[in-house]
Amino acid sequence: MAAYFHSVTLEKEKCMGCTNCIKRCPTEAIRVREGKAKIIDERCIDCGECIRVCHNHAKRALTDPLEIIKAYPYPVALPAPTLYSQFSHKFKVDQIIQGLLNLGFFRVWEVARGAEIATQVLVKYLENHALPKPVISAACPAVLRLIQVRYPELLEHVIPIESPMEISARLAKKELEEEGYPVEQVGVFFISPCAAKVTSVKNPLGVKKSQVDGVIAISDIYGPLLAQLASTASVSIQPRASGAGIGWAVTGGESRLLPFTQTLSVDGIANVVRVLDDIAMGKLKEVDFIEGLACMGGCVGGPLTIENSYLSKTRIQNLSKKYGMSYLEVAPEFAFSEFFWTEKIEPCSVLVLDEDLALAMQKLETLDEIHKALPGLDCGSCGAPTCRALAEDIVRGLAVEIDCIFKLREKVTDLAERMVELSSKLPPSIGKPR
C-alpha cells in the first residue's frame, strides 16, 4: 500500500507536548514522544479535532496556497456551500462567485450543484439496491475513514456514490472540455472547510484518482476574497444552486432531501462514534438512513472555517429558504451509471494486535494483565491517552511499563527501600550476623 498522506500535520516548534490532543483524538492516533505530539498515520482520520483543541495552534491542515491556480491557464473554483456562510448576509452568493472570479479563477462551479446531483443519484441507487439497514451516508470523508479503521464490518452499510466535490469536479471538467478548452489546461480547485477533504483528494477512497487538482482552505482564501467583495456589489451572476444543495453544508441538509421517514443526523465525531457503536451491536435497525458528520453543526463547523459555526448555520438555512428546495440541477442520465465508486474500500482495522490469532490472543491476555496493574487514572503523562492505550502500546512493543510515572515511582520506592535495607546490613567481620 502507498505511504499514507495526511492533511493534518504537526508544526513541531509550536507543540508544547501537552496532553490535550491525545485525549481528544477519536481513534487514539496521537502519542506524545520526546516532548512533541506524534500522529500515527494509520490511525489518523483527519477529522481535525486536534486542530481545534490545540491552544498553541501546533496542528494544522496541509492545503494548497491560492497561488497554485496560476499553474493552470483555466482554473476552476469549486466552492463548498459552506463558503457562502462565512460572510455577512449583505454579501450575496453572486458577489462571492464574482469575488472568486476576481481572484483569478476562470470559472466557478458550485459544489452545491454537485450535492443536488449526488442526492438524485443516491435516491435512485437506494431504489434499486438493498443495503443493510441503516444505510450510512458517505458524505463526510472523516466518518468514512473512521468506519474503515474502526468499524470495517459496517462498510457494507455505506452508500457507494461519489461525493458532491468529485461529481462537481468531473462535471466542471466535462463542461469546459465540451466548450473546447484543452482539459489538461483546466485545473479544478476545491475551496474547503475540511481537512479530511484534502486527504480524500490525495488518497481517495472509492475512486481510483480524484478529479480535483488542489484544495484551498476557506481560512486561506477568506482574507483575499473579503477584500474583493466590496467591489462586487453591482454584479449580477445567476447562482446555479438551489437551497437544497446549499443545505448540505449543515447537519441534516442531506437527510431532509431523502424520501425516508426515519433518518438520523449526527454531528460531532464523538457522537458519530456512539451511533456507529450502536449500529455495530445490531441496534438502530428501524432507522433508514444515517448522516454522520465529524464536525459540530456539519461542514460549517469544519476546522478550516473562520466564522462562528452557529451563525454560519443560520446563514445557510436562510440561503436555503431564499433559493428554495427544488433542484435547479437535473442529474444527467450518465450520472446514474457513472457516479459510483469503482474501488472497493478495503477494511483497514488498526485495532488488530497481531496477524497471527494465537499471538494476538496471548497479547490480549498480557494487555489485560498490564492494564489491571496500571493506576487507571488515564492521566496521559506517559504520552498515551489512556492506561488501556499504554497497555496496548506495551504489548505492541512501542512502550514500556515504567513509561507510567506511577509505575516508575513504585520502582524507585522499591529500590530505595531495598537500599535502606542493604545499608543496615553489616559484614560479620564488623557486626553480628543476622
Partner 1 sequence: MMDDNKQFKPLKLYFTVEQGDFIRAGEASSKIKKVLSQLGFPGSLIRRVAIAAYEAEMNIVIHSWGGELEAEIGPEHVTIVARDRGPGISDIALAMEEGYSTAPDKVREMGFGAGMGLPNIQNCATEFIIESGEGRGTVLRILIAVKE
Residue 349 found at the interface with partner 1 (CB under 8 A): yes
- Binder of partner 1 out of 352, 400, 412, 416 (CB under 8 A): 352
Applying CB under 8 A, among 183, 227, 357, 426 the residue interacting with partner 1 is: 357
Of positions 40, 123, 360, 373, contacts partner 1 by CB under 8 A: 360
Minimum Å gap between C-beta 282 and partner 1 is 3
With CB under 8 A as the contact rule, the residue among 354, 401, 403, 410 that binds partner 1 is 354
Tell me if 261 contacts partner 1 by CB under 8 A. Answer: no
Q: What is the smallest separation between the CB atom of 139 and partner 1, expressed in angstroms?
A: 22
- Per-residue HEC secondary structure of the chain comes to CCCCCCCEEECHHHCCCCCHHHHHCCCCCEEEECCEEEECCCCCCCCCHHHHHCCCCCEEECCCCHHHHHHCCEEEEEECHHHHHHCCCCCCHHHHHHHHHHCCCCEECCHHHHHHHHHHHHHHHHHHCCCCCCEECCCCHHHHHHHHHHCHHHHHHECCECCHHHHHHHHHHHHHHHCCCCHHHEEEEEEECCHHHHHHHHCCCCCCCCCCCEEEEHHHHHHHHHHHHHHHCCCCCCCCCCHHHHHHHCCCCCHHHCCCCCEEEEECHHHHHHHHHHHHCCCCCCCCEEEEECCCCCHHHCCCCCCCHHHHHHHHHHHHHHHCCCCCCCCCCCHHHHCECCCCCCCCCCCCCCCCHHHHHHHHHHHHHHHHHCCCCCCCCCCCCCHHHHHHHHHCCCCCHHHCHHHHHHHHHHHHHHHHHHHCCCCCCCCCCC
User: Least distance from C-beta 292 to partner 1, angstroms?
Assistant: 18
Q: Does residue 347 touch partner 1 according to CB under 8 A?
A: yes
Stretch that binds partner 1, among 151-159, 160-168, 235-243, 376-384 (CB under 8 A): 151-159
Asked whether position 401 contacts partner 1 by CB under 8 A, the answer is no
| Sole binder of partner 1 in the list 41, 277, 346, 417 (CB under 8 A) | 277
353 binds partner 1 (CB under 8 A): yes
Contact flags string 365-394 toward partner 1, x per CB under 8 A: x-----------------------------
Q: Does 153 bind partner 1 (CB under 8 A)?
A: yes
Closer to partner 1 at the Cβ: 296 or 367? 367
**Contact between 1 and partner 1 (CB under 8 A)?**
no
Binding residues for partner 1, rule: CB under 8 A, are 152-155, 277, 280-283, 347, 349, 351-355, 357-358, 360-361, 364-365
